[in-house]
Structure formats: C-alpha cells, structure tokens
Amino acid sequence: MTGSEDKRRFFRIDDEVDLFYRKIDQHEAAGAGPAENNVLTHYSLSAALEMLSQESTVLLRRLEKSQPDVVNYLKLIDRKIGLLAQAIITQDSAFREKNARNVNLSAAGLAFESEEALKPGEFLEIKMWLVSCMAMIVTYGKVIYCNEQPAADGRYPYRIGVDYIGMEEQDRELLIKHVVKRQLQQIRDNKEAGHQS
C-alpha cells in the first residue's frame, strides 16, 4: 500500500489544538519514539492511562454483577488517577500559555499554521494537547510542504504539512478516537445549525 493510499484510510478533520514543535535532526527522528525513551514521561502518561482504562473496563464489567461495591470503588480510584494525570500534563511549562493553532488532523499526519517557514524534508518533534480526551501526544514528523497563506491577523503566515514518523500505536489510537469524536461533534453542530436557519 502506498503512502497516499495509507493516508486515505484515516479520517481528516479541521480542528484547533494546542500544538508545539521543535526542529530536530534526522538522527534523532530515526531513533526510538519519545515514549520508548522513557515510558513514564508525562507526555506518554495520558496515552498509557487511556489504554489501561480500556483494558480495565472489560474486567470491571465482569465484576459488576458479583461485586458492585468493589467496582464503584475502583471507578473512583480511576477518576482520581485521571485527575492527577491531567494536573501533571497541564503543569508543563510549555502549556501554561495556550498555543492554539488551526490544524487539519489525521492519524497519518497534520497540517498546521506556523509563524515561521519550514523546509520540506526537515524533521520535527511535535507535541499536541487534545482537549476532547485530555491527552498529550508527542511524536516525530517530517515536513512535506510549506505554503504561504493569507492570514487574517498575520500571526501565522505559513501552512506546514507534516507526516508522522514512528508514532506510538497507543498515541495513534488516541488520535483516531479524537478525530472521530470531533467529526461526530461537527456533524451534530452542522445539523443543529441547519435546523435553526
């Protein structure tokens, strides 16, 4: 399957996310993904917790009839852990000041607004904060294109297209979940707007 055919398998949405990037060299991009360097970095923590929550849901359903009090207690603990993870992630100094950007997002790559021109072939480390699932995704990417765009406020005169490199599977699953959730929300919003007009 070619890269372009592979990309078509993923839904794409226009969204606004908190996004940060930094240029890296090809050697760093070719290395292990950010989550492999340290499994418990606070960037991969939310993705790991989400995957564990999905696994625990199956076990909780089995216990629900026989031990409902235990299940309720475990659900409370899960909420506490989620709140702690959220607090850890949002305390990251880079995210104390919001950096919302308009993006076109999929599980294969993204296009985003940028204040600076980037060269095709450059490598980036990308951090995205997805509010819908309260998750931070960190991955590497390769710049595919850089186009000038007329910007209303002049803050972001460039549009950068990036393909992900070595994204962790759990992060890709979270990204797919976010895209589907946002797409459904946009469909609902459009239907409601159509009924009101």
Residues linked to residue 50 through DSSP beta bridges, in sequence order: none
Domain that holds residue 82: 3-196
User: How many domains does the chain fold into?
Assistant: 1
The confidence score (pLDDT) of residue 53 equals: 76
Structure-token pair, residue 107: 């599980």
The confidence score (pLDDT) of residue 47 equals: 63
Q: Which strand (E) or helix (H) includes residue 120? A: none
Give the predicted TM-score (pTM) of the model. 0.64
Residue located via tokens 């996310």: 17
The amino acid at 54: Q
* Residuewise pLDDT in 10s, the chain (197 residues): 444 444 445 678 888 888 889 999 888 877 644 444 443 444 456 666 766 777 788 888 888 889 999 988 988 888 888 777 767 666 654 554 467 788 999 989 999 999 899 999 999 999 888 766 667 788 999 999 999 987 556 778 899 999 999 888 888 888 888 888 888 888 888 888 877 76
The confidence score (pLDDT) of residue 142 equals: 95
Residues linked to residue 165 through DSSP beta bridges, in sequence order: 140
CATH code of the domain containing 162: 2.40.10.220
| φ, ψ of residue 180 in degrees (nearest 5) | -65, -45
